[in-house]
Amino acid sequence: MFSRILTSALFAGAAAGLIAALLQFLFVQPVLLHAELYETGELVHFGAEAVSAQPDLPGMFADPMRDALTVVFAMLTYTGYAVVMVALMSVAEGMGHAITARAGLLWGLAGFITFHFAPGLSLAPEVPGVSYTDITARQIWWTATVAAAGIAMWLIAFGGNLMAYGAAALLLIAPHLIGAPEPESFAGPVPTELGALFAARAFGVGMAAWVLLGGFAGHFWQTEGKRANAHA
Amino acid sequence: MRRQGGNDMTTKTLKVSATGSAILPALFAVILGLGIVTLAGHVQASALHDAAHDVRHATGFPCH
C-alpha cells in the first residue's frame, strides 16, 4: 500500500511539477524578472522619467542554473503535494469512493484551493519587492489556513450533512476574519500593475498544475493498483 | 455493480483487509508529503531559500 502511494505520487508529482515549471517560465517568470528590476532599483516607479512597461528582460533561460533549480523545486513541491493527496485518495477509496483520473480533477481543484487559494486570499502571492512582515508569523498563518482549508475540503467532499458543510464554511472563512499578518506600512517599489498581474498568473498556473496533478494522481493510482493486483 | 456470488465474497474480504491496513501507510505518507512541502516551501536556510526562491514566489509561499 505504501509503495503504491509513493509510486503513483512520484509519477504524478514529477509530471505535474514539470508542467508547472514550464507554465511558470511562460507566464510567471517574465513578471517576476520585471519586478526584480524595480526591487533592485534598476527601474524606478514614478521616477523623473517615464519608464517603459516593456523593458528588456534578461530573457528566458538567461540564468540556466537558476532555471534548473526552479524545475527541480517545482517537481519536488508538486511531488510533496501528490504524496499527501494520493495518501488521502487511498483513504477515500477504502471508504468506498472511486478514485479515477476524472475524479482526480476535482481532487486537484480541492488541492489548489487548500494550498494556494485559501492562504492566497489574504496572503496574496508575493511579487518580489513587496513590503512584508515577519516571515515566521506569516508561515504560521499560512500553515494554519492550509490545515483549516484541507479539513474543510474533506468535509465538503465526504461530510454529507449540513453540520459538515457549516463547519467547512466556518473553517474556510475564519482565518481571513482573524486576519493574516500584515506589514505596518506599504513601501514596495514595484508597480501595482505588476503585483496584480503576478498574483493572477501565480493563481492561474497553480490551478492548471493542480488540476493536472489530481488527474495524473487518479490515473496512476489506478494503473499502479492494476499492476499490484497482476503481481499478487 | 453486481458480480457472481463467489467473486463478491473475495472482493469484500480483500477490501476489508485493505482498509484495515491502509490507515497507517496513508498517515505515514501524509507526514512524508507535508515534510517535502515544508522543505521546499518553508525552510529558511539560505541555500534552500535561494534555490527554491522563484518556485516559492510562484506557488504563493511566504518567501522573505
With CA atoms as reference, the chain A residue closest to B15 would be A94
- State whether A82 and B33 contact (CB < 8 Å): yes
Q: Determine what percent of chain A is predicted with pLDDT higher than 90.
A: 75
Residue span of the structural domain in which A224 resides = 2-231
How many domains does one find in chain A?
1
Task: Please tell me the predicted confidence (pLDDT) of residue A166.
Answer: 98
Least-confidence region, from A66-80, A95-109, A158-172, B19-33: B19-33
Contact A208, A116 (CB under 8 A): no
**Residue A229's CB: how many other CB atoms inside 10 A?**
9
**How far is Cα of residue A169 from the mean position of the Cα atoms in its chain?**
21
Domain boundaries, chain B: 23-64
Sign of CA dihedral A8, A9, A13, A16: positive
With CA atoms as reference, the chain A residue closest to B57 would be A126
What does the pLDDT average to over A182-186? 86
Q: Which residues of A touch B58 (CB under 8 A)?
A: 24, 28-29, 32, 74, 125, 202, 205-206
- State whether A126 and B63 contact (CB < 8 Å): yes
Q: Single out the residue of A127, A134, A175 nearest to residue A151, CA to CA.
A: A175
Residues in B 45-64 with any Cβ partner in A closer than 8 A? 51-52, 54-64
Residue whose grid cell is 514566489: B57
Report the distance separating Cα B63 and Cα A198, nearest Å: 14
What is the complex's ipTM, to 2 decimals? Answer: 0.90
Which residue type sits at A144?
A
**pLDDT tens-place string over residues A36-66:** 998 888 888 776 677 777 777 877 778 899 9
Q: Using CB atoms, which residue from A1, A2, A32 is nearest to B54?
A: A32
Can you spell out the DSSP letters for A9-59? HHHHHHHHHHHHHHHIIIIIHHHHHHHHHHHTTSS-TT-SS---SSPPP--
* Closest CA of chain A from B26, distance in Å: 5
Phi-psi bin for A160: left (phi > 0), alpha (psi -120 to 50), beta? left
Task: Please tell me the predicted confidence (pLDDT) of residue B1.
Answer: 44
Q: Using CB atoms, which residue from A21, A88, A138 is nearest to B62?
A: A138
**pLDDT tens-place string over residues A145-154:** 999 999 999 9
Local structure of residue A184 (DSSP, 8 states): S
